[in-house]
């Protein structure tokens, strides 16, 4: 009994040290992980070019150029729609000021705080413009630095992928080298499958949200469709955040209760379609993580690496599951974090499609 308790304490201590190391090595590991996961997304494309006698360096450069063009396209699209949204800024500002004035009167009537006292409290809590500008510039510099590091890691990890794979195989005992090689291939494949699947699902969500919001007459429907789709990268939290922003801005535009209710109905319908149809067939069972550990991964990712940690949480835990599934001593953990294989509530026509495909 004592030996068992000691073993559990050692494992918990090791787990704590791992998370502490991840936290303090954030500046190094976070861009490396993002670059590595993005490299797995382009791995099949790079292999395809190399099989057609394209020089390795040129193939890797084409992958890097494609990644940069894709990122620029997304940023440009969002920037274009945000610029359109700013055209209504004056109107939304007036609505917000009216709402704030109503809120001030409510505080004055119920808490007996004068307008002067309320402004004094806000002034004390609000940071100075100088410190705010410093925060913005520091955040921008940090973003640019990390983006450059991600692209550099992406380039070299993709170029030296064979060399790194051979290192891990050589580092393993001779009897386990085949298993290690299979493990590396499976981890790279699962990361590629997840990223490609989530990209397809985001595009489909753009279409569904765009149609739904346009039929309701929501202002800047395309922008909010794109926003809700992109935020789907963060499960549960992202789509709720996107829909909440859509509701707030629609309310500032003067939307009535029927339109606001329609936005909620569109969100709920698309989420049901996503959960029952899109996720099982686009993402597949291999990257299926049960909701409990999805939430655990998101919370831990945010605690350790912030927003970037939340974005990396799902592909990282999916890769961890693959590693667990290939190591006998870790297989129970892979089973624990994995999804339920049989869904008793699954729709009948879904099962028929699965059998036919």
Kindly write down the DSSP assignment for every residue of 160-224, as one continuous string.
THHHHHHHHHHHS-GGGHHHHHHHHHHHHHHHHHHHHHHHHHHHHHHHHHHHHHHHHT-TTHHHH
Instruction: State the pLDDT at residue 82.
Output: 66
The mean pLDDT value for 63-82 works out to 82
Q: Tens digit of pLDDT for each residue in 304-339?
A: 888 778 778 877 887 788 778 777 777 888 888 876
Q: Which of 42-51, 77-86, 115-124, 282-291 has the lowest mean pLDDT?
A: 115-124
Q: Tens digit of pLDDT for each residue in 80-90?
A: 666 666 665 56
Burial 28-51 (b: 16+ CB within 10 A, else e): ebbbbbbbbbbbbbbbeebeebee
pTM higher than the cut 0.95: no
**pLDDT band at residue 349 using 50, 70 and 90 as cut-offs:** very low
């Amino acid at each position: 009994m004592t030996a068992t308790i000691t073993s559990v304490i050692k494992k918990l201590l090791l787990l704590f040290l791992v998370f502490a190391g991840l936290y303090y090595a954030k500046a190094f590991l976070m861009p490396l992980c993002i670059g590595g996961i993005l490299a797995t997304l382009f791995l099949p494309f790079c292999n395809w070019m190399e099989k057609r006698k394209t020089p390795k360096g040129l193939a890797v450069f084409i992958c890097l150029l494609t990644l940069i063009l894709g990122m620029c396209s997304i940023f440009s699209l969002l920037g274009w729609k945000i610029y359109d949204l700013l055209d209504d800024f004056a109107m939304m500002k007036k609505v917000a000021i009216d709402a704030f004035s109503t809120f001030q009167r409510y505080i004055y009537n119920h808490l007996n705080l004068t307008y002067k006292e309320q402004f004094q409290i806000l002034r004390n809590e609000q940071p100075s413009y100088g410190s705010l500008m410093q925060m913005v510039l520091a955040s921008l510099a940090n973003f640019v630095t990390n983006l450059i590091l991600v692209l550099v890691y992406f380039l070299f990890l993709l170029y030296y992928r064979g060399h790194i794979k051979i290192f891990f195989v050589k580092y393993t005992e001779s009897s386990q080298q085949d298993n290690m090689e299979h493990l590396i291939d499976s981890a790279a494949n699962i990361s590629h499958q997840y990223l490609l699947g989530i990209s397809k699902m985001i595009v489909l969500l753009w279409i569904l949200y765009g149609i739904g919001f346009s039929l309701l007459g929501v202002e800047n429907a395309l922008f909010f469709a794109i926003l809700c789709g992109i935020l789907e990268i963060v499960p549960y939290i992202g789509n709720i955040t996107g829909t909440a922003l859509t509701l707030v801005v629609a309310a500032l535009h003067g939307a009535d209760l029927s339109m606001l209710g329609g936005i909620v109905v569109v969100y709920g319908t698309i989420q049901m379609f996503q959960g029952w149809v899109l996720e099982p067939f686009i993402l597949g069972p291999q990257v299926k993580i049960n909701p409990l550990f999805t939430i655990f991964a998101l919370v831990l990712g945010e605690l350790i690496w912030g927003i970037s940690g939340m974005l990396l949480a799902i592909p990282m835990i999916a890769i961890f599951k693959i590693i667990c599934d290939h190591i006998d001593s870790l297989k129970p953990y892979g089973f624990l974090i994995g999804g339920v294989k049989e869904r008793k509530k699954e729709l009948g026509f879904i099962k028929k499609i699965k059998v036919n495909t």
